[in-house]
Amino acid sequence: MIIHNSWSVHIEYAAPEGAERLTHDDERWDAFADAGADYAANVGWDASVPFEPDRYSVSLYVDAEDPFEAAGRARDIASKMVWDAGLPEWPAVRLEAKTEAELDAELAEPNFPLLLGAAEVAKYLGVTRQRIAELRKRPDFPKPIVELAAGPIWLQGAVSTFVETWDRRPGRKPAGMPFGFRVAEDGQVATDDHEQAAVQFVGSLHLAGASAEEIAERLEAAGFKPPEGDRWDTTTVRRIAAMTPKPARRP
């Protein structure tokens, strides 16, 4: 079964050495554009005709079974246009043929790379801008495509690639995150089981009347890890104990 597709064909012609030179305001360019309009009803025609003085090109649509047939048809039409306009016949130096669907898909894609500044990269990675400065020291962190006075600019694709291979380790808690909670990988607040157990441990001892010093010692003995440093201090213990609900007073 023969299926005819609509093909967008782009042909460029270049002036050979010693050929007649054209100026950009040559009337024949207008004639060339007009000659294209004549074919619009038959094959689909792009009325815009790009040119430069030593090169001209044409983009047009033809119906054909495959790109080779499309190229042949487009060449014939373009040759007639050149002839009708009175332009010099220069050799074709470039030919591009793609189906209309292919061109549609291509035009639907942005042809501008997505760019990120430091603030956007920080947001994308869920870290602070200061952390970005640290991450940049890693050899696997992408280099910015350009360093402007306003700061570095990255291609989003490069940052995405980094994220795919980033062996992310939990760092310090973000400011304001209470003991017993953490930021999950999806950016949501989640409970930290180990720290929640420590909170309950502190709470039970506090309610039993233990002092902050005693609780700190018991925490270390039980192997609970403090929020910062290697040792539990009484200030931290008191802060956690203050989170513990007080028992109801007896009547």
Partner 1 sequence: MVKEKATDRPGQQIPKEYREVVEHLITVQGWRYDKSGQRHPVLLPADRGKAQLRVPTTPTRDPRAFKNFVADVRRRGGVWPPPLGR
Point out which residues bind partner 1 (CB under 8 A): 6, 8, 10, 24-25, 29-30, 33, 37, 40-41, 44-52, 55, 57, 59-61, 100, 103-104, 106-107, 110-112, 114, 120
Nearest distance, CB of residue 39 and partner 1, angstroms: 10
Nearest distance, CB of residue 154 and partner 1, angstroms: 13
- Which residue do the tokens 């039980």 mark? 222
Nearest distance, CB of residue 194 and partner 1, angstroms: 37
Nearer to partner 1, 100 or 233 (CB): 100
Nearer to partner 1, 109 or 167 (CB): 109
Nearer to partner 1, 51 or 179 (CB): 51
Distance between CA atoms of 51 and 31, rounded to whole angstroms? 13
Of residues 17, 13, 22, the one with CA closest to residue 59: 13
- Separation in Å, CA 38 to CA 35, 41, 80, 84, 163: 5, 7, 11, 11, 54
- Which residue do the tokens 């007080």 mark? 246
Distance between CA atoms of 158 and 161, rounded to whole angstroms? 5
Question: Is 90:15 a contact under the CB 8 Å cutoff?
Answer: yes
Nearest distance, CB of residue 47 and partner 1, angstroms: 4
Nearer to partner 1, 48 or 188 (CB): 48
Nearer to partner 1, 33 or 183 (CB): 33
Structure tokens at 24: 């950009």
Nearest distance, CB of residue 88 and partner 1, angstroms: 16
Distance between CA atoms of 132 and 151, rounded to whole angstroms? 12
User: Residue 63 pairs with which residues in a beta bridge?
Assistant: 6
